[in-house]
Amino acid sequence: MMQLYYLPGACSLADHIVLEWTGADYDVTEVSPRILRSADFLAMNPGANVPLLRDGDLLLTENVAVLHYLAERFPHAALMGDTPRARAETMRWLAFMNSDVHSGFKVVFALRAGDDPDPQAAQRVRTAQRKVRAYLERLDRQLAGREWITGTRSIADPYLLVMFRWAVSADVDLDGLRNLTAFARRMYLDAGVKAALLVEEGLAL
Ligand SMILES: N[C@@H](CCC(=O)N[C@@H](CS)C(=O)NCC(=O)O)C(=O)O
């Protein structure tokens, strides 16, 4: 059976939600930062991170690759787009979130983890938060008049929910981002999202 290794609330939540959406038989294994650095885990994923998907003898890493693989493996779920153009849109938003937005958050989280009393450090946090806010504004504009980021449900949507959740926990200003907030509200009502969150965080929403 397919196995997803995850850290609660991390970007692997996107894959967890997609697995729910596919209706596939799968199992999840929670890991911790300590387990990520264990010899057993490093033998499977030298990158020491999640998501890690095991499917038979395949050990797949890199979120975009895992999400894309799941969409291809379960085509009936229609999570990639049905034309070259629709698939390109899915990849466009996935790439933007993975390379720009996700990395922007890493800077915010790393600066905040330092707990540096230097007033310049607080300024650097605010600058990093503003950069993420600018990315989220772009996502908010794209969502105008759309229920899903590409127009139809895809593997990019769960990644977007993860970005929204990180924005909340990183104190990024979400004021006025109505389309994004409404998107998150809709996602929280989704059965697959609820099921994945229940397992990862014991949250009954
Ligand atoms: N390039 C990787 C990055 C994955 C990544 O950033 N994973 C984070 C969680 S979102 C992680 O496992 N961090 C390890 C840690 O927190 O110790 C991908 O896109 O899959």
Per-residue model confidence as pLDDT tens digits over 132-177: 999 999 999 999 999 999 999 999 999 999 999 999 999 999 999 9
Query: How high is the pLDDT of residue 18?
Result: 98
Mean pLDDT within 9-26: 97
**Which value, to the nearest 10 degrees, does the dihedral of the CA atoms of residues 81, 87, 89, 92 take?**
130
Query: How high is the pLDDT of residue 116?
Result: 73
Q: What pairing do the DSSP bridges indicate for beta strands 2-6 and 26-30? A: parallel
d(CA 26, CA 54): 10
Mean pLDDT within 125-133: 96
Residue 203 has pLDDT above 80, yes or no: no
Classify domain 2-78+194-201 by CATH number: 3.40.30.10
Q: Are 6 and 16 in contact (CB under 8 A)?
A: yes
Query: How high is the pLDDT of residue 121?
Result: 84
The C-alpha angle with vertex 5 and arms to 87 and 57, in degrees rounded to 5, equals 75
User: Which protein residue has the closest C-alpha to ligand 1 atom 15?
Assistant: 33
Confidence of residue 204 (pLDDT cuts 50, 70, 90): low
For residue 128, CA distances in Å to 111, 123, 143, 187, 190 come to: 9, 9, 23, 26, 31
Q: Where are the domains of the chain?
A: 2-78+194-201, 84-190
Query: How high is the pLDDT of residue 8?
Result: 94
d(CA 14, CA 160): 8
Ligand 1 site, residue 98, Cβ cutoff 6 A: yes
Ligand 1 site, residue 50, Cβ cutoff 6 A: yes
Query: How high is the pLDDT of residue 186?
Result: 98
Ligand 1 site, residue 7, Cβ cutoff 6 A: yes
Mean pLDDT within 66-83: 98
Confidence of residue 67 (pLDDT cuts 50, 70, 90): very high
- How close is the Cα of 133 to the center of ligand 1, in Å? 21
Residue range 25-59, pLDDT digits in tens? 999 999 999 999 999 999 999 999 999 999 999 99
> Residue 183: is it exposed, middle or buried by C-beta count within 10 angstroms (0-12/13-18/19+)?
buried
Query: How high is the pLDDT of residue 108?
Result: 93
Across the chain, what does the average pLDDT equal?
96
Quick count: other Cβ atoms within 10 Å of Cβ 132? 23
What backbone phi and psi angles, to 5 degrees, belong to 31?
A: -120, 170
Ligand 1 site, residue 60, Cβ cutoff 6 A: no
Atom of ligand 1 nearest to the CA of 102: 6
Domain 84-190 CATH (choose: 3.40.50.300, 1.20.1250.20, 3.60.140.10, 1.20.1050.10): 1.20.1050.10
Atom of ligand 1 nearest to the CA of 49: 12
Query: How high is the pLDDT of residue 117?
Result: 76
